[in-house]
Structure 1
Amino acid sequence: MTDPAFNTVTWFQIGTDQPEQAQQFYGELFGWHFTADPDSGAAYDLITYPGDAQPHGGISHTDDAADNHTVFMVLVPDVAATIAQSERLGGKVLVPPVTTPNGLVFAHLRDVSGNRFGVFTPAPRP
């Protein structure tokens, strides 16, 4: 398997205050499978496609329907540098860089049209 190229959409996230209903909906609609993310505790589920063991997205458990969202995530070599470039171009930071326990770094941004998207660098390989 080859690594995805930088600056490509390689992940998506569905944020919902009703994760069980979202899993049922997308599972029945597309045949997606869901497992709890071992690195995120009970607040995040990984999405895999039928016949593919590699996760391609996730369901983030939100506390309030006002926080529900869908967002695409772009793989970048440097989250901080991408944020700085986005701000120079008129983008806004919605969620500043977060480093997960396994070392993945992500941030959520808003483009100049008001659309939310995310950027991330993967966790270092062991």
Structure 2
Amino acid sequence: MTVPAFNTVTWFQVGTDAPEEARRFYGDVFGWKFALDPYSDGYDLVTYPGADMPSGGISHEPDASRNHAMFLVLVEDVEAVCDQTVKSGGKVAMPPLSNGNGLEFAYLQDPSGNTFGVFTPPAP
């Protein structure tokens, strides 16, 4: 398996208050496959046809006001990127968090208010 380069877009997330409809839609349109994330409640992992590993996720949101689509960038140090974002005129929309397997992530905003994410995978 090839590890993607740091500072590249390597994950996407679709947040929806209708996860069943999102799975049906994206499955019908693109042939995506879905599996529940064993480390996060309310999150489906998305795998492309022919791929061995997931490339994105469907986040189950409590209501339509939190629906979203975003990209996430693989980084070496989530906290350092949060600090650099603020220094460069952006904002930290959600401070760094870790899930059950050690993945660390944060949501940021660029100076125009576009939200994106950064993450560091769990240690091997």
TM-score by length of 2: 0.98
Give me the CA root mean square deviation.
Answer: 0.6
Amino acid in structure 2 at the alignment position of 1:21? E
Structure 1 stretches of 4+ with a deviation exceeding 3 A read: none
Percent identity, aligned pairs only, is 60
CA deviation map 1:89-113 (0-9, x unaligned)? 0110111100111100000001011
Task: State the match for 2:119 in structure 1.
Answer: 120
Distance 2:97 2:14 in 1: 18
Task: State the match for 2:69 in structure 1.
Answer: 70
Distance 1:123 1:91 in 2: 26
Gaps of 5+ in 1: none
Task: State the match for 1:96 in structure 2.
Answer: 95
Gaps of 5+ in 2: none
TM-score by length of 1: 0.97
Task: State the match for 1:80 in structure 2.
Answer: 79
Alignment of 1:1-126 (within 5 A): 1-41=1-41, 43-125=42-124
